[in-house]
Structure 1
């Protein structure tokens, strides 16, 4: 008597994942994260306008940064994607999800400041004076010059300072924006982050309709290689939990 064997073929499709660095950073910063996630996702690392050697706009505006990412996705035929953003990159990812929820499967924002006031902005801007950087942190100045060549890192630093001042006066990601997001959002923060507090991150998480929260012990604000190694499996879990294959 013949035996019938049924073979089921399981076809898997990688997730699409865009990585967005923070202010005054370039996509090269996220190379360890991109490498760790490559087996699980089609990873695209983007530079924000004015960063990584791109022409510096006359002004930097948070909404325009998000629109620039959308234009880049169009150019690369990326119909729908998850977004990981570090610091300002996470802020931009949230605005992209607000403006184009059909294009964003989920946002993972790490060390993203969501509580902006004029006082907070003034404190952050004090560290962005190019002359002060040259005097107090010449190694950092040399890094900025290398990362953003051939553009003038001093000009970019001033543009970023203006952007933070704008956010202090008129935050783009408000509680109403967070409350209205329809895509899954994971917020993560280090418990030793001196720029982004655990308290403000928890407050933002509680505002989200589809929020997730991660607090990393003994982690500060800079996205060190070791922190990226810790984040990679968390991002992979987020991708699996929130779907959004393209």
Structure 2
């Protein structure tokens, strides 16, 4: 009888000791949608502060919830069960599930699928002059380089956009966001006279319209640009000439660092 009483007293004291040390890991604050997934992890039954990674859903990033796992006081941030992703990230942009959008090559189409997966068509794109590292297209002569050739990007490229022009329509275009032309497809790329122009925008550089040069050139390796280094092509107006020749009234502007451009205006 005394032995049984001693055992019960010992167990009660141990439970009381752990209960006093057991931290409050119950989720606090506003709860996020969804439920915690079932955990099949086997752990030791102990309560240590280093095993508590969160105390509520507000401690977890995004849609993750604060859920317990194993035995004892253990919490961590996990994705809720049965909650599919509603957006896809592609080329720094977000798209909704089911939404279609152009691929980075300009000729294929992508779709945002379930769980944030992006799938794109695999059509063979038209060949042309596209810079691999998204540097500016140049028509200036360079040693060992043909016309056109690619220059080094003036800064980290943060975005690019494709513009479709038609050589049969003399409609001017200009790269948006103070961007420059970093490639274009074969001229023309189809029987309708369409040409795909790729515009790139670099971070930390810009230009002023007062430092732009306009000139006319024929689409030929022998037709060179009269501008100096630092001037990049930002827009053009196509012209369909006689004898199957194609001309462009180009606009090239001098790109400067944003800080240098601000100093120029202060003067």
TM-score, with normalisation over the residues of structure 1? 0.26
More helix by share: 1
Q: TM-score, normalised by structure 2?
A: 0.24
Higher relative contact order by CA 8 Å / sep ≥ 6: 1 or 2? Answer: 1
- Structure in which a larger fraction of residues adopt strand: 2
